[in-house]
Chains A and B, each alone.
Chain A
């Protein structure tokens, strides 16, 4: 045995490698640079029992032997060059007990180079607190190595590590993963071309984009007639190798690593135990949801009233200060009420995103995803689908795009198809105004606001419908699938005010400006279509009213009736009358029908459309809510927006596929028109039947 053993200390960043180095070398260490580069080189002497010494080289932290930085090149260059004076007799791979899966990738790669390798599992003192148990003996057997359980913090396990270093010759240098299985023919040819070289070493040289001293891909090609593969093919094989390694690591950890959350004692584990509990986890989650929706209603009512009144005043004021004429009317009756229909929802949307940001920032949202995974599995989906479904509460577009990380096609397709059922922020304005009109502002049990409860139920309805549809699609779609779900839970932390504020401002701004432009354009078109008409009836509205009611009407009533006749005979009135037979069974008049059709561009256009239609020809200073509340049902009499028609509208918007952009994205993601067309017809069909049933039962 040599008097001095060369030891390379290798590991992922943040595994406590330097602490282990410090314990091994004490003050016997030197810090310098690697020749020609500014990367720090730390080396030291470790005194071992029986008068032996070890030269310890603390190599830069690296995640794998697939070099992507200068630091990583140093590690690979040393391990590939047997002539280097620092070439290790033994490699010590330091890992963190909580991140073994990620850390073992590097371990298996080093082991495959044929270097005797010791595995140090650091932070072993946390095992009890985290509820972790390891079958070290079995793990040693499966990884063909020796393991030292170390706590650099508590200075335990260091002497055992020194013993292992002394006895490094007893450690098998046999690889634990056979990388050649990824392309047997290719590796066979490689073996024949370079019979005296380590196969995995050759593979590493071939696949790296960088040159290692005298050993590089070109040299290999020039010194032999061996033909390597294209760069893209090599990358593909490299990815395949990583998958094979992780499959091996998963298998080892499944047998040897157990984490029992019920025995963990740290604060995070205690919190996780409650927040992800099979029963309490759901109670807490729904409790939090309830609080959020209550707060949205209670806190935002004052700013909303203020915005509503301001826009009503602004419309009237514009009429007074600008010269009388049709363009002034367009501004005061079309543009201002239309924009008011979106600005009014800023407070509620800002509060909603405030709460969502707080949940995300605190780390709780990941627990929700974990909780939901249990539910989703029963419906043919996994937790991977939860992320798109949760992000669908903001907007279906990024949610559909978020399905890209679902490998399984069937699961991805189902998720894409059901995501639009979740309540996106575009539905909020519709829900809020209808709820305000038809649900009494009362408290249940003295605590819960009935309107807030209704909003929460609509969110749950959307999520429930997504899950139910997924279950149905899982039964119908005959596509073979296999999937798994892994989530890394972040630590709990206090949300950063800056992050939360930026998120709220960005989301609200995007909602207002994104929707605002479309609403402004639609409001202008609607106003023009409502202010002009093709036939004689539109031009002779005054004469028709005089003929119908005589001259006994007050000036105010006369103008109201003239406005009504004009609206009915305008372009929009004629279009609305055309679709009225379809929407009448749902409890709507032609104006709501027009609002539904125009909101196909985007759901939130609904409120702006109604605000514009109801404002045309009106000189009164009224809020949107007041105007909608004053509308009467032309067939049944009484308020148009009553409980039956309100619930019918809420259900229609909960289920209908009212978003052109989502359809376009679904077409792109599925590369077919079949799925978005199916989505459009099925969702709209469900919406129509649900709205019809609700109105007919409740009227």
Chain B
């Protein structure tokens, strides 16, 4: 039971970290460069 609690906690932190990185720490150049477009690479719109 304890292990499962720890796993949930770690997964939660990873998820929060991913979203923060995605929406707040992402390099603007990478997110909006001319290469970025739906269908070619992840444009960050989803």
Binds B, one of A302-310, A502-510, A674-682: A502-510
- Min CB gap B5→A, angstroms: 6
**Chain A residue contacts of B19, Cβ below 8 A:** 518, 521-522, 525, 601
Q: Tell me the nearest residue of chain B to A531, going by C-beta.
A: B8
Partner of B46, one of A398, A602, A668: A602
- Min CB gap A310→B, angstroms: 22
- Assess whether A664 is in contact with B8, with CB atoms less than 8 Å apart: no
A-B pair number, CB within 8 angstroms? 110
Partner of A398, one of B11, B15, B43: B43
- Min CB gap A403→B, angstroms: 13
Q: Would you give the 0/1 interface string for B1-45, flagging 1 where the beta carbon is closer than 8 Å to chain A? A: 101110110011011101100110000100110101111111111
How far is B42's CA from A613's CA once the two chains are assembled, in angstroms? 27
- Assess whether B15 is in contact with A604, with CB atoms less than 8 Å apart: no
**Chain A residue contacts of B41, Cβ below 8 A:** 510
Q: Tell me whether A517 is interfacial, beta carbon within 8 Å.
A: yes
- Assess whether A664 is in contact with B18, with CB atoms less than 8 Å apart: no
- Assess whether B4 is in contact with A401, with CB atoms less than 8 Å apart: no
Q: Tell me whether A543 is interfacial, beta carbon within 8 Å.
A: no
**Chain B residue contacts of A394, Cβ below 8 A:** 38-39
Q: Tell me the nearest residue of chain B to A529, going by C-beta.
A: B12
Partner of B37, one of A398, A503, A511, A601: A398
Contact flag A665-B8 (CB < 8 Å), given A426-B45, A506-B40:
no
- Assess whether A521 is in contact with B15, with CB atoms less than 8 Å apart: yes
Q: Tell me the nearest residue of chain B to A331, going by C-beta.
A: B11
Q: Looking at chain A's contact residues, is the secondary structure mostly helix, strand, loop, or mixed?
A: helix
- Assess whether A395 is in contact with B31, with CB atoms less than 8 Å apart: no
**Chain A residue contacts of B15, Cβ below 8 A:** 520-522, 524-525
Partner of B5, one of A326, A601, A661: A326
Q: Tell me the nearest residue of chain A to B12, going by C-beta.
A: A528
- Assess whether B38 is in contact with A398, with CB atoms less than 8 Å apart: yes
- Assess whether B39 is in contact with A518, with CB atoms less than 8 Å apart: no
- Min CB gap A656→B, angstroms: 15
How far is B41's CA from A413's CA once the two chains are assembled, in angstroms? 25
Contact flag A661-B38 (CB < 8 Å), given A330-B8, A521-B15, A524-B12:
no
- Min CB gap A599→B, angstroms: 11
Q: Tell me whether A513 is interfacial, beta carbon within 8 Å.
A: yes
How far is B30's CA from A359's CA once the two chains are assembled, in angstroms? 31
Contact flag A426-B39 (CB < 8 Å), given A327-B7, A330-B8:
no
Partner of A661, one of B1, B37, B44: B44
Question: Would you list which residues of chain A between 229 and 243 have a CB under 8 Å from chain B?
Answer: none
Question: Would you list which residues of chain A between 388 and 412 have a CB under 8 Å from chain B?
Answer: 394-398, 401
Indicate the size class of the contact surface on chain A. Answer: 35 or more
**Chain A residue contacts of B8, Cβ below 8 A:** 326-327, 330, 528
**Chain A residue contacts of B34, Cβ below 8 A:** 401
Q: Would you give the 0/1 interface string for A537-581, flagging 1 where the beta carbon is closer than 8 Å to chain B? A: 000000000000000000000000000000000000000000000
**Chain A residue contacts of B31, Cβ below 8 A:** 661, 664
- Assess whether B32 is in contact with A518, with CB atoms less than 8 Å apart: no
**Chain B residue contacts of A525, Cβ below 8 A:** 12, 15-16, 19
- Min CB gap B25→A, angstroms: 13
Partner of A395, one of B3, B18, B32, B38: B38
How far is B5's CA from A273's CA once the two chains are assembled, in angstroms? 68
How far is B45's CA from A660's CA once the two chains are assembled, in angstroms? 8
Q: Tell me the nearest residue of chain B to A520, going by C-beta.
A: B15
Question: Would you list which residues of chain A between 600 and 616 have a CB under 8 Å from chain B?
Answer: 601-602, 604
- Assess whether A514 is in contact with B28, with CB atoms less than 8 Å apart: no
- Assess whether B46 is in contact with A604, with CB atoms less than 8 Å apart: yes
- Min CB gap A44→B, angstroms: 47
Q: Tell me whether A629 is interfacial, beta carbon within 8 Å.
A: no
Q: Tell me whether A659 is interfacial, beta carbon within 8 Å.
A: yes
Contact flag A401-B7 (CB < 8 Å), given A520-B15, A521-B19, A661-B44:
no
Residue of B22, B39, B40, B42 with most partner-chain A CB within 10 A: B39
Q: Would you give the 0/1 interface string for A149-173, flagging 1 where the beta carbon is closer than 8 Å to chain B? A: 0000000000000000000000000
Some 14 contacts from A to B, beta carbons below 8 A apart, are: A323-B4, A325-B1, A327-B3, A330-B8, A397-B37, A398-B38, A401-B34, A401-B37, A426-B46, A510-B42, A511-B46, A517-B18, A602-B45, A661-B43
Given A521-B16, A528-B12, 15 further pairs, Cβ under 8 A:
A326-B5, A326-B8, A397-B45, A401-B37, A426-B45, A503-B39, A506-B40, A510-B40, A511-B38, A514-B43, A518-B22, A520-B15, A604-B46, A661-B43, A661-B44
